[in-house]
Amino acid sequence: MVVGRRAGGRVVSSRQRRIVEAVSYRRGMADDLVNAACDLCEAARITPWFHEDDVCWIAECEICAVPMVVWRSHGVAPPTDQLAHMHAQLAMVVSEHFTFEHYVDDNMRNIPDHYHAHARPQGGFFGHGLRRRRDA
């Protein structure tokens, strides 16, 4: 296995580098907008996905089991228009797929260097066992 160092001095494999290169190409993003060592830049489809566009993607958080919006660019300060877009898409996903009222929690606890936000149930934190709307 070939390894190298990228942002933050984290060791990454040649497989991880190929994944990020493929993701960059697929998204039409410049290499400086992704970080090979970032789990959110990898955008692995390990949980259900609800939405994706040029600005963001929304999937179920692997830990919290609530919808989570992720900015496609690696960084913590999206422009105001993109932030509004991401929060609107997150609200749309909650209203289409779930039956709870939500609040946006953008405290980036586990991955503090890549903007993402969770749609948490009012009065709660985790989404395990939350009711989903049935497909029509």
The domain locations on the chain are: 1-37, 47-136
Please report the pLDDT score of residue 130 as a whole number.
72
Instruction: Look up the CATH number of domain 47-136.
Output: 3.30.428
pLDDT confidence tier of residue 33, bands split at 50, 70 and 90: confident
Determine how β-strand 102-105 pairs with β-strand 116-121.
Answer: antiparallel
DSSP 3-state of 45? coil
| Percent of the chain scoring above 70 in pLDDT | 71
pLDDT confidence tier of residue 90, bands split at 50, 70 and 90: very high
Region 112-127: mean pLDDT is 87
Please report the pLDDT score of residue 13 as a whole number.
52
Nearest by Cα to 61 from 127, 113, 133: 127
Nearest by Cα to 121 from 110, 129, 133: 129
Model confidence at 25: pLDDT above 80: no
